[in-house]
Amino acid sequence: MTKTINGMYQRDSNAAFDNAKKDASFQPQEFMYMYSKDGRDYFKNTNFRNYVNFKFVDGVKHNGQKIADNAEDLFTKMLGGN
């Protein structure tokens, strides 16, 4: 993750889209991922140029260290899965 101007940065765009798709109103074919900042992913509408944003949690942390990508991943690891 590389920080850019005013705390904006790029994260994995596939992860950003997967997170945004949790909101039923999001139409991914109409948007492009632009950047992330302050725990939110920002997307720009390709036709109308308006922005939308969605809150995300950047992994599950323990003592400040990332131990899983999300709760489901953590549960799988706890059960001994990959």
pLDDT of the chain, 82 residues: tens digit per residue: 666 788 899 989 999 999 999 999 999 999 999 999 988 999 999 999 999 999 987 766 677 777 777 666 777 878 887 6
Q: In whole angstroms, what is the distance from residue 76 CA to residue 40 CA? A: 26
- pTM of the predicted protein model: 0.69
Determine the pLDDT at residue 31.
98
Give me the pLDDT at residue 3, please: 63
Strands 60-62 and 51-55: unpaired
* Residue-level pLDDT at 82: 61
pLDDT given at position 51: 98
**Sheet strands (E) in 1-82:** 31-37, 40-45, 51-55, 60-62, 65-68
β partners of residue 37: 40
